[in-house]
Amino acid sequence: MLIIDFVKEQRTFSPEEIELLLLVAAQIAIVVQKKTVEDTKSTFIATLTHDLRSPTIAQQKALEVIMTGKLGKSLEDFSEYLEDVYRINEEELRIINNILTVYHLESGMFRIKLALANIQAIINDTVRTMMPLAKEQEISIVQEVQSDLPEIVIDKDEIGRVIINLIGNALKHTYRGNKITVGANRQNNEIIIAVSDNGPGISEENKSKIFHRFPTEKRQIGTGLGLYLSKQLVEAHGGRIWFESEVGKGTTFYFSLPISHNA
Ligand SMILES: Nc1ncnc2c1ncn2[C@@H]1O[C@H](COP(=O)(O)OP(=O)(O)O)[C@@H](O)[C@H]1O
Ligand SMILES: [Mg+2]
Residue 194's φ and ψ, nearest 5 degrees, are -130, 135
Number of domains comprising the chain = 2
245 and 127 share one domain: yes
- Tens of pLDDT along 157-180? 999 999 999 999 999 999 999 999
Q: Measured in angstroms, how far is the CA atom of residue 164 from the centroid of ligand 2?
A: 9
Query: Of 48, 81, 110, which residue constitutes the final position of a domain?
Result: 110
154 and 238 share one domain: yes
For position 136, what pLDDT does the model report?
84
Contact 94, 222 (CB under 8 A): no
Q: Measured in angstroms, how far is the CA atom of residue 108 from the centroid of ligand 2?
A: 23
Query: Of 110, 145, 167, which residue constitutes the final position of a domain?
Result: 110
The alpha helices in 69-178, defined as continuous H runs, are 75-106, 119-136, 156-172
Please tell me the least confidently modeled range out of 13-17, 41-45, 85-89, 252-256.
41-45
Contact 209, 250 (CB under 8 A): no
- Tens of pLDDT along 165-220? 999 999 999 999 999 999 999 999 999 999 999 999 999 988 988 998 765 555 54
Instruction: Give the Å distances, CA to CA, from 221 to 51, 88, 155, 184, 245.
Output: 7, 15, 28, 29, 20
Q: What angle do CA 12, 13, 18 make, to 5 degrees?
A: 145
Per-residue pLDDT at 263 exceeds 50: no
Q: Measured in angstroms, how far is the CA atom of residue 150 from the centroid of ligand 1?
A: 30
> Is residue 236 a part of any domain in this protein?
yes
101 lines ligand 1 (CB under 6 A): no
Neighbours of ion ligand 2 (CB under 5 A): 169, 226
173 lines ligand 1 (CB under 6 A): yes
166 and 242 share one domain: yes
> Is residue 43 a part of any domain in this protein?
yes
Give, using CA atoms, the residue closest to atom 8 of ligand 1: 169
Q: Measured in angstroms, how far is the CA atom of residue 101 from the centroid of ligand 1?
A: 18
58 and 98 share one domain: yes
> Is residue 263 a part of any domain in this protein?
no
> Is residue 246 a part of any domain in this protein?
yes
199 lines ligand 1 (CB under 6 A): yes
User: CB-based contacts of 8: which residues, under 8 Å, 6+ apart?
Assistant: none
**Distance between CA 196 and CA 245 in Å, rounded?**
9
Mean pLDDT, the chain, rounded, equals 87
Confidence bin at 253 (pLDDT 50/70/90): very high
Q: What is the atom index within ligand 1 of the atom nearest the CA of 165?
A: 18
Element containing residue 239 per DSSP (H, E)? none
Mean pLDDT over residues 62-84, rounded? 89
Mean pLDDT over residues 23-51, rounded? 80
Query: Domain residues for 35?
Result: 1-110
